[in-house]
Amino acid sequence: MKRLVLTALLAASVATTALVPPAAFADSKEQYVPLPTYRVGPYASSGTLWWAGTLDYFRYINEVEGGVNGVKLKVEEFETEWSPDRTVEVYERVKNGKDGAPVAFFFTHGTPASYALIEKGAADKIPLIDPAGGRTESTDGTVFPYAFPLLFNYFSQASVGINYIAQKEGGFDKLKGKKIVTVYHDSAYGRETQAAVELLAKKYGFENFQIPVADPGNEQSPQWRQVREIKPDWVFLRTWGVSTPVAIKTAQRFGIPADRIIGDVWAGSEADVIPAGTAAKGYQALAPYPGGAGFEIHDRLRKTILDTGKSDLRDTKFFGAVYYNIGLINAVLAVEALRAGQAKFGNKPLNGEEGRWGFEHLTIDDARLKEIGFYGLLQPIKLTPADHEGGGAARIQQWDGDKWVLVTDWIQADRDTLRPLVEAKAAAYAKEHNITPRSPTAEN
């Protein structure tokens, strides 16, 4: 943890990162990409690595591939300390682009910020991109044309967790009567899976217990004492930041085995398990972003970015860490969406409406994953105007005390069961805000 914090402090001196020389600002072949980063503050241990992966991939696109079909990416950082208010300030500052270079999308990278900006993004026609996060009902693009909880929304996270437990128990019929406790960060993020877990509990007959942990979660003895009294079969851990290693260590103290705890996406990185020490051995987590540096894209980046001294990483031993890989995947999703938009509108910088079209027609199959070096690291994904998630799968990884080890192939969420719940929540939002939903086959 000390190494991660040091990494964050060193990175804090970097206020902005320009991947295109300032003299090129007026070039019509630029795409402006503002990033509301968080390299300092309580979540710096994740943000420092996350943004390093994002920046390394964008630099690779610019310097190795010559841009996105010749369009260079002008990337600029704005430190937010993961504050929704600051992220909103950044959005207002950058939404009109810079020096003639337009904005095609805006990474919110935080559920509170996604909630705060969702109406603004729709009004300004700027796509809000929050992979594996955001407002779950914005999966329904007929109501939320400019919001994308891309790749793996919170309902899918709950479903994959339950599906994995069913695998371990020997089938869905074996879930009946089981006790499954969710220990969650008491925030919009942490509460987001509750409706889905309730629905799945009714479907499969397991007992559903929900226990909140107040931010930042430095003391959790009351919560884990309650867990011990319940005597659960499984625990689903939906914490974030310092609350995750505290949860793992406190669980051990109260006799809850690590291998009966499954962390969600945001509780499954090196920053979560290394500080927990031996208590984390055997701990499992959802991995739509698997850890490891053995994928083809890492070979390419090692040769062209890391070994040439151009990486944004301050400590290269975190090359291939979970949060670094999150940054890579988020960046490639954005780049591939730009390519999809350019296929319709031409090889030029895209505005927000054109960027939305690109995301809504984003398809990355196995053949494309192999071509771009992400096979095995990123799941196949296909978005539509009605479906702004497009993936809905994760692998499970387990901490062996030294590294993450993948223990399953891709596990798909039960999206057919969850979709009516998504649509009901979206319809309620539409009614409240007097929105007429688009046609599911909308092309513009």
Q: Is the pLDDT of residue 24 over 90?
A: no
pLDDT-derived band of residue 151, with 50, 70 and 90 as boundaries? very high
Query: Residue 122: its pLDDT value, please?
Result: 98
User: Does pLDDT of 13 surpass 60?
Assistant: no
- So what's the pLDDT on residue 440? 83
Upper half-sphere CA count for residue 430 (Cβ side, 13 Å): 18
Q: Span 359-376, mean pLDDT?
A: 98
What's the mean per-residue pLDDT of the chain? 93
- Give φ, ψ of 146 to 5 degrees: -115, 20
What's the average model confidence in pLDDT over 324-333?
Answer: 98
Instruction: Say if residues 383 and 364 touch (Cβ distance below 8 Å).
Output: no
Query: Is the pLDDT assigned to residue 357 strictly greater than 50?
Result: yes
Mean pLDDT of 34-54: 92
- Give the model's confidence band at 44: pLDDT under 50 very low, under 70 low, under 90 confident, else very high: confident
**pLDDT over 80 at 165, yes or no:** yes
Q: What is the pLDDT of residue 45?
A: 83
**Contact call for residues 248 and 194 (beta carbons, < 8 A):** no
pLDDT digits (tens, 9 = 90+) for 396-425: 999 999 999 999 999 999 999 999 999 999
Is the C-alpha dihedral spanning 58, 59, 64, 70 positive or negative?
Answer: positive
Bridge partners, 402 (sequence order): none
Supply the DSSP symbol for 178.
-
pLDDT reading at 11 higher than 50: no
CA distance 431 to 34: 33
Q: Tell me how far apart the alpha carbons of residues 353 and 125 are, in angstroms, rounded to a whole number.
A: 6
Structural tokens at position 379: 């799941």
- What pLDDT is attached to residue 29? 86
Are 289 and 329 in contact, with CB atoms under 8 Å apart?
Answer: yes
Looking at CATH, the fold of the domain delimited by 2-153+291-392+422-432 is given as: Rossmann fold (3.40.50)
Mean pLDDT, residues 230-252 taken together: 96
CA–CA distance, 413 with 149 (Å, rounded to integer) = 15
User: In sequence order, what are the residues at sequence separation of 6 or more whose Cβ sits closer than 8 angstroms to the Cβ of residue 308?
Assistant: none
Radius of gyration of the chain, Cα coordinates, nearest whole angstrom: 21
pLDDT tens per residue, range 193-225: 999 999 999 999 999 999 999 988 999 999 999
pLDDT-derived band at 443 (thresholds 50, 70, 90) equals low
Q: What would the two tokens of residue 148 be?
A: 């994308």
**pLDDT score of 15:** 40
Residue with tokens 């053995």: 294
pLDDT of residue 46 exceeding 90, the answer is no
pLDDT at 8: 39
The mean pLDDT value for 110-125 works out to 96
The 3-state DSSP class for residue 364 equals strand
Quick check: 53 pLDDT over 70? yes
- Among 418, 370, 434, 441, CA closest to 154: 418
Q: Which residue has the tokens 């040769």?
A: 303
Domain ranges of the chain: 2-153+291-392+422-432, 154-290+396-414
Lowest mean pLDDT among 12-21, 270-279, 313-322, 356-365: 12-21
The CATH fold assigned to 154-290+396-414 is: Rossmann fold (3.40.50)
CA end-to-end distance (rounded Å), the chain: 47
Cα gap 22→156, rounded to integer Å: 42
Please indicate whether the domains covering 2-153+291-392+422-432 and 154-290+396-414 agree at the CATH topology level. Answer: yes
- Give the pLDDT score at 19: 55
Distances (CA, A) of 116 to 37, 42, 52: 17, 20, 25
Mean pLDDT of 157-161: 97
State residue 360's pLDDT score: 98
**Single pTM value for the model:** 0.91
3 state SS of 150: coil
**pLDDT for res 444:** 61
SS3 390: coil
Q: Is the pLDDT of residue 87 over 80?
A: yes
